Amino acid sequence: MRKETIFKLLACLIALSALSCVEGGPGLTGSEPTLTWLGTLGGGHSTARGVSNDGVVVGWSSTRFIVGQVRAFRWTAEKGMQDLGTLGGRESQAFAVSGNGRVVVGRAQNASGVWRAFVWIKDEEWPAMRDLNQVYASLLQDGSHLTVAYAISLNGRFIVGEGFNAAKRRTEAFLLDTGRAEGWWFDPP
């Protein structure tokens, strides 16, 4: 099995294990099961890929504006589905969310149409999706780049994904330690 395939499988298993951590959530009382249809961003389909401990869901949805276009979303029971935007390109996909639902990671196209790993934080001081290649530019070797972020730790400190390692001239899995203490990304509850 190729390393990329193993890594993608591992990322999926991490996301699935997060599903078992949900306590409460949209309409859940803890004793009666429920099913919530999340809707779309106006298009014909949506896909959920990650869920926080309190039921915040992330994924992507088609839009009504351009056929075949998908955008990353963050869904809450209170506000519904929110389009997280792009990095200047046409499309984006969210793959994971932190335990408290405030930090989302995935991939988005930049203005040149190139996929880049992103972070989106629910914070008034950080109102937009950010390219992880710009946020952590000092950690990347000349020519290296982060293509997609597949998962984030519950506390938001660690991000994993895949990117291009210019020194070895190949695509590799990465582990990004943001260097932030638990809770740095977040406002107090």
Q: Which of 4-13, 39-48, 88-97, 159-168 has the lowest mean pLDDT?
A: 4-13
For residues 61-74, give the mean pLDDT: 88
| Per-residue pLDDT tens over the stretch 153-186 | 999 999 999 999 999 999 999 999 998 755 444 4
The CA distance from 119 to 159, in Å, is: 9
Percentage of the chain beyond pLDDT 90 is 70
- Would the pLDDT of 135 be above 90? yes
Q: Give the model's confidence band at 13: pLDDT under 50 very low, under 70 low, under 90 confident, else very high.
A: very low
Which residue ranges make up each domain of the chain?
3-25+41-177
Question: DSSP for 52-83?
Answer: -TT--EEEEEEESSSTT-EEEEEEETTTEEEE
107 to 31, 130, 132, 174: CA distances (angstroms)? 36, 10, 10, 14
pTM tops 0.85: no
